[in-house]
Amino acid sequence: MKMVMATKNTHKIVEMRALLEGLDMEVLSEADVDLDIEVEETGETFEENSLIKAKSVMECTGLPAVADDSGLCVTALGGGPGVYSARYGGEGLTDKGRYELVLQNLKGQLDRSAKFVSVITACFPNGKVITARGECPGLITYTPRGDGDFGYDPIFLVPEKRKTFAEMTGEEKNAISHRGRAMAKFREELGEYLKEL
């Protein structure tokens, strides 16, 4: 079976292909099927946004489609930036600008609890929907730590590891991250569904 991944990010496609190895599922990029659409993420939850993306691509291509949506939820910011993680502070900011804004908005705040969330949704032309959610709880640091430069990694501390995401190797992070957890659940559920067909 073929499945289109709703993303312009080639890293996500490589990651999904590796994850689904061994299952009867070939992961195609939007370019592989000559698709070029901008889907507006108008949902208020990660579930809604990943469903909007997967459903749009499924409807445009007639093929099964998969999408993910993720972000950082900080308790003292009312769960924000949440689904707005990529756009926090406006379009003009860099990743560094965005995590500095989180630190600034948490100034004087003792509750540093937070979690990363990732939701993966697959939509099939027959109406079947598979959704998998992964979470990773942690704490927001007072200052950035580590060399990893993706998103909010330098300010997200995993207390049991005594490291921020930015101080971990890719392997260390994948083993406990929201995305790693969602991916593992997704593979399991997709495998079960493919057996039923």
Q: Which residues are catalytic?
A: 69
* Continuous segment of H or E residues that includes residue 28: strand 26-28
For residue 104 the two structure tokens come to: 């600034």
Q: Please tell me the distance from the alpha carbon of residue 158 to that of residue 168, in angstroms, as a whole number.
A: 10
CB nearer ligand IMP, residue 165 or residue 186 = 165
Give min distance, CB of 184 to ligand IMP, in A: 15
> Under the rule (CB under 6 A), what is the footprint of ligand IMP?
68-72, 85-86, 116, 150-153, 165, 177, 179
CB nearer ligand IMP, residue 10 or residue 24 = 10
Give min distance, CB of 137 to ligand IMP, in A: 13
CB nearer ligand IMP, residue 64 or residue 71 = 71
Query: Nearest-CB residue to ligand IMP?
Result: 151
Give min distance, CB of 41 to ligand IMP, in A: 7
* Whether the Cβ atoms of residue 191 and residue 172 lie closer than 8 Å to each other: no
CB nearer ligand IMP, residue 53 or residue 187 = 53
Q: Please tell me the distance from the alpha carbon of residue 154 to that of residue 81, in angstroms, as a whole number.
A: 16
Q: Please tell me the distance from the alpha carbon of residue 54 to that of residue 42, in angstroms, as a whole number.
A: 13
User: Per-residue DSSP letters for 93-153?
Assistant: --HHHHHHHHHHHTTT----EEEEEEEEEEE-TTS-EEEEEEEEEEEE-SS--SS--STTG
